[in-house]
Structure 1
Amino acid sequence: MSIDIHALSGAYAVDALDGSERAEFERHLAECVSCQHEVDSLREAAAALSGAVETAPSDRLRAAVLAGIGEVRPLPPLVSVSRAGRTRRRWAAGSLVLAASVASAVAVSHPWPSSHVSMSAADRVMSAADVQVVRSAVVGGGSLTWYRSGSVGRAVVTSGGLKPLPNSQVYELWLQRPDRSMAPAGYLPAGATTVVLTGQARTALGAGITVEPAGGSARPTTTPLALVAFARA
């Protein structure tokens, strides 16, 4: 196996490993208390997300969101996990992927101009002394690297290889609140890019990404393509 076996905890939690990978990870899982706890936590998060009910936004709310989108600046996300005195870098599709269905490909819609992404905010998170870093695969193709700094209070995600989506869909980012509910945290254009997540990252338990209708959703309406857990800040 070419990647850190610990990074497969997310894929195992959502039954996304093939036979040989699953067998190898289960042998590891029987002896790794850290992975046992992480698998339990991810299954809990997956269950919470799968219980989300799609609610169509009112015309007024949709208009307000679309009108304000050009002024919104994303905030930074986090992802690095320290276990038994050492930091592990985890894959979200291999570490916190909550997977199942995903989207088809075609042209991508950019919810905001790229100039609105605050690189200075991203740099502050990525260079912070307490930054946590987690790499994750995305169900359907592509990869993400998540960064979170408790001292900065923000999280950042960088992506590569995401499939383009129809104009009617967007990749939406989420932060998991302390009560385990999911808060919208911005959008992620397909292709290599860097985005600062909006919202409170300091207390977030994790982050994820789903495919949503253009304009975004108040709550996840599809199975996450990737879900990552943050170490406690």
Structure 2
Amino acid sequence: MTTADPHLLTGAHALHALPDDERATFERHLADCEPCARETAELHATAARLGLAVATAPRPAMREEVLRRITAVRQQPPGPPAAPRRARAALRAHRLSRWTLAACLAAAAALGGTAVWQYERAEDAQRQARRAEQGTAEIAAVLAAPDATTRAAALGDGATGTVVVSRERDEAVFVASGMARPPAGKVYQLWYDDGGTMRSAGLMDPGRADQAVLMEGAVDGASAMGITVEPEGGSRRPTSDPVALMGLPT
């Protein structure tokens, strides 16, 4: 491990460029150094903004091309190597009967069902890709908005959070770094604080320590935001003490 001044490692931490031992030491330093925690959170948000600003969506024709190929390519069941052509012909002539025909019809029906199943899975994947693409584009739009303002805070245990607000778009994005996994069966839920009344702003991905989340709903008159630990699927109202409370930038 190097003896670098921890105050000089904020940029490297934001870009995930520290070795594991240095990262652990630096994150312990963050718990006691508010200026470094704030600067690290702001750099994480900036890195996210730069990354999402250059994100590109796949060409629209790709979806149709994938769907067309999935429905056109026939699934071949596993089996032994094919016999020579003459032997196969003799075997077909010898064994072709109503039972063989019935088996062929059953196989055709099974393959037809496989094609339908493949098509439905492709449709599901397409819908998921559209949602992901739309979410990424909306996050990028907020982060790149000319009026975007940010506020950063240390969340404890080395985690940092930054909220980015565009009043013109009436939207907010929460950028988290180093978030610990919630307990099993739990999820982090975001909230808008409307004068003391908490309004749900969506759920975070419990499997990701670093993420950017488009907060659900309009910022409207909210003056702050909070994070709580809730059961999977979220809650209508907070059921636990907040992990963090942050004022929204003006």
The TM-score, its normalising length taken from structure 2, stands at 0.45
The TM-score, its normalising length taken from structure 1, stands at 0.49
* Greater RCO (CA < 8 Å, at least 6 residues apart): 1
The structure with the greater share of residues assigned to helix is 2
Rg larger for: 2
